[in-house]
């Protein structure tokens, strides 16, 4: 049994070295080949002096090098930090500085755009560049002030270097930092141990029934805990992980057929699009999983009609605890609106504000306890104390406090232990499964002169789940243009963070009794904007 996350690949290599572990387009690696590349990358990092638990960030689209870099960092005894490839240079720089990244793995294509931002990252010692062309190394080195290494050279380490020993780690050590947006401020890093990742993989792979015969399609970002899970569950089971950077929903259908995919994970907006596609009658899919929001009933029904042989698993999770609940497929007809019950090796309790347990069907806060609870937020004791709090000892029966994740989500639990989502307490916006901090959008807009005040809010959208609306009170002397503001957002933000609508208003924004902008009132005002666009 693996104790450390990279050992999943090593165990696969021992068990079935020739079995296919990873596939990306025409590239295919067996478990033995993947294990060898992970080992070479680990030794290259050790040669560069990577220290125990130092951070290695990976800023790449899904490709072979991305997976090798993540697990290679772990194999060296370092901590991997997967960065969403849709983020812009300034957002990457925030992450690099926030957790003091020592080594960045990126592509030659991305490096030129990153150079100004990387200059503001004093802790960065080296950049490993994948996909460089022969003869371009001098130009690439000129773009950065730190040391530059070529990926191909890292995987051609001389035999003498292979004797270097990785740093000793145990399962409670930090394995990864995943950045997730909060309701205020910049993204915060959720610190996950090897134990967290392995316990999550064991739990999910168990109820999905994963085996070496499975071929699991990874379409979600690997910086997303749900996306990373596709790798860990595949490697735990000896299955094949197939990487995909999709452009159109029909591309997903094509690769499912071409690669004989058996497991597919997606978020509701993508499922809504996939439900409208023409799926082949002999589709190979064995199961579908949904997280990142509730799947609409019409979408669920359409998928079940189009893919009658595929079991549907509805799930709920948060990065701070990986996965929390799942609904067994046998319960879909009876409880289509349920989040299910706690996943194996986790317990979910619903509590009142004073920490006492709620009665059946009484709304309360979802609290997750068990081996999947993350270690906290990187270098942020205040936010950690707000989200990771001890459970009342009456709930655990233990003679000492136990730290659990207090989700901030309001749910109810019925007499049979099935949970139902009611609402989110914070102001997070969720677009196509991405969690977005309003502050990140507001910071860009506030750079324009003439703004008195503004608020970015999430409102219902039939395809995206939510869409971003920015409501701006402008100075009487200003002459702002909504189209120009959106274009600036498009230049500085990922597409999913760009407001779908910008409302310019001369009146003051509504405020609550505490004097803060009343986001709920604004959400109510624009709640039908995308359902009735003619208004």
Tokens read off for 5:
């996350």
Q: How large a percentage of the chain has pLDDT more than 70?
A: 96
* 211 confidence band (pLDDT: 50, 70, 90): very high
- Is 373's pLDDT higher than 50? yes
CATH code of the domain covering residue 437: 3.30.300.30
Q: What is the mean pLDDT of residues 351-364?
A: 94
Do both 145 and 215 map to the same domain?
Answer: no
CA separation for the pair 291, 302 (Å, rounded): 17
Domain hosting residue 474, numbered range:
429-525
Do both 16 and 156 map to the same domain?
Answer: yes
- Is 516's pLDDT higher than 80? no
Sign of the alpha-carbon torsion through 115, 120, 125, 130: negative
Do both 25 and 122 map to the same domain?
Answer: yes
- Is 322's pLDDT higher than 80? yes
Angle at 516 between CA 514 and CA 522, to 5 degrees: 125
**Residue 175 falls inside a structural domain:** no
**Residue 455 falls inside a structural domain:** yes
Q: How large a percentage of the chain has pLDDT more than 90?
A: 73
The mean of the pLDDT values for the chain is 92
Sign of the alpha-carbon torsion through 269, 183, 173, 195: negative
- How far out from the chain centre does Cα 373 lie? 16
Confirm if 38 and 6 have CB atoms less than 8 A apart.
Answer: yes
CA-based nearest residue to 141, from 153, 128, 152, 154: 128
**Residue 125 falls inside a structural domain:** yes
* 199 confidence band (pLDDT: 50, 70, 90): very high
CA separation for the pair 66, 257 (Å, rounded): 24
* 535 confidence band (pLDDT: 50, 70, 90): very low
Q: In what order do the strands lie in the sheet with 451-461?
A: 451-461, 465-474, 501-505
Given 262, 291, 309, which residue is the final one in a domain?
Answer: 309
CA separation for the pair 442, 360 (Å, rounded): 40
Distances from the Cα of 369 to the Cα of 296, 351, 360, 388, 522, angstroms: 28, 13, 19, 10, 35
Do both 154 and 299 map to the same domain?
Answer: no
Spatial neighbors of 123 by CB under 8 A, at least 6 apart, are: 96, 97, 100, 101, 102
CA separation for the pair 511, 371 (Å, rounded): 41
**Residue 535 falls inside a structural domain:** no
Beta strands in 10-62 (DSSP E): 20-24, 27-30, 55-59
**Residue 357 falls inside a structural domain:** no
Tell me the pTM.
Answer: 0.88
Do both 256 and 110 map to the same domain?
Answer: no
In the chain, the number of structural domains is 3
Higher pLDDT, 115 or 237: 237
Given 169, 190, 220, which residue is the final one in a domain?
Answer: 169
Do both 156 and 41 map to the same domain?
Answer: yes
Do both 164 and 24 map to the same domain?
Answer: yes
For 240-289, the pLDDT digits (tens) are 999 999 889 999 999 999 999 999 999 888 898 899 999 999 999 999 99
Do both 160 and 271 map to the same domain?
Answer: no
CA separation for the pair 243, 17 (Å, rounded): 20
Beta strands in 285-370 (DSSP E): 287-290, 311-318, 322-327, 341-342, 346-351, 364-370
**Residue 402 falls inside a structural domain:** no
- Is 534's pLDDT higher than 50? no
Confirm if 7 and 31 have CB atoms less than 8 A apart.
Answer: no
Do both 155 and 11 map to the same domain?
Answer: yes
Q: What are phi and psi of 408, to 5 degrees?
A: 80, 0
């Amino acid at each position: 049994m693996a104790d450390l996350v990279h050992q999943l690949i090593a165990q696969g290599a021992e068990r079935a070295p020739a079995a296919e572990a990873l596939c990306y387009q025409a590239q295919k690696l067996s478990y033995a080949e993947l294990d060898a590349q992970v080992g070479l990358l680990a030794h290259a990092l050790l040669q560069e002096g990577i220290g125990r638990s130092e951070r290695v960030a990976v800023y790449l689209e899904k490709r072979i090098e991305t997976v090798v870099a993540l697990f290679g960092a772990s194999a060296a005894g370092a901590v991997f930090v997967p960065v969403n490839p849709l983020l812009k240079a300034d957002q990457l720089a925030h992450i690099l500085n926030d957790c003091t990244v020592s080594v960045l793995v990126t592509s030659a294509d991305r490096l030129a755009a990153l150079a100004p931002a990387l200059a503001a990252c004093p802790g960065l010692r080296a950049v490993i560049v994948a996909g460089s062309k022969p003869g371009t190394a001098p130009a690439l080195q000129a773009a950065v002030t730190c040391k530059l290494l070529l990926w191909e050279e890292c995987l051609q380490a001389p035999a003498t270097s292979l004797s270097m020993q990785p740093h000793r780690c145990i399962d409670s050590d930090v394995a990864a930092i995943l950045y997730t947006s909060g309701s205020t401020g910049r993204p915060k890093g959720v610190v996950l141990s090897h134990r967290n990742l392995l316990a999550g993989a064991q739990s999910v792979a168990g109820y999905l029934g994963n085996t070496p015969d499975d071929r699991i399609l990874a379409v979600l970002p690997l910086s997303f805990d749900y996306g990373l899970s596709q790798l860990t569950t595949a490697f735990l089971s000896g299955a094949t992980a197939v990487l995909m950077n999709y452009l159109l929903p029909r591309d997903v259908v094509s690769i499912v057929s071409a690669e004989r995919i058996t497991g597919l994970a997606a978020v509701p907006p993508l499922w809504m699009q996939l439900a409208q596609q023409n799926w082949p009658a002999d589709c190979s899919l064995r199961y579908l999983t949904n997280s990142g929001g509730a799947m609409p009933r019409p979408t669920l029904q359409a998928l079940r009609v189009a893919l009658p042989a595929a079991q549907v698993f509805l799930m709920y999770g948060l990065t701070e605890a990986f996965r929390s609940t799942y609904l067994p497929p046998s319960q879909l007809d009876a409880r289509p609106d349920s989040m299910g019950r706690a996943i194996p090796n986790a317990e979910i309790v619903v509590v009142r504000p004073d920490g006492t347990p709620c009665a059946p069907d009484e709304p309360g806060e979802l609290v997750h306890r068990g081996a999947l609870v993350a270690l906290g937020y990187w270098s942020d004791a205040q936010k950690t104390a707000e989200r990771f709090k001890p459970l009342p000892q009456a709930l655990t029966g233990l003679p000492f406090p136990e730290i659990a994740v207090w989700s901030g989500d309001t749910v109810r639990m019925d007499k049979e232990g099935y949970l139902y989502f009611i609402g989110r307490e914070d102001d997070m916006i969720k677009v196509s499964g991405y969690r977005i901090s309003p502050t990140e959008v507001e910071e860009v807009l506030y750079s324009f002169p003439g703004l008195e005040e503004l608020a970015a809010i999430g409102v219902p959208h039939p395809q995206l789940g939510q869409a971003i609306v920015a409501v701006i009170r402008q100075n009487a002397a200003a002459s702002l243009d909504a189209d120009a503001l959106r274009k600036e957002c498009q230049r500085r933000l990922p597409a999913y963070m760009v407001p779908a609508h910008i409302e310019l208003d001369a009146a003051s924004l509504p405020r609550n009794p505490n004097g803060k902008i009343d986001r709920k009132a604004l959400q109510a005002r624009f709640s039908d904007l995308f359902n009735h666009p003619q208004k």
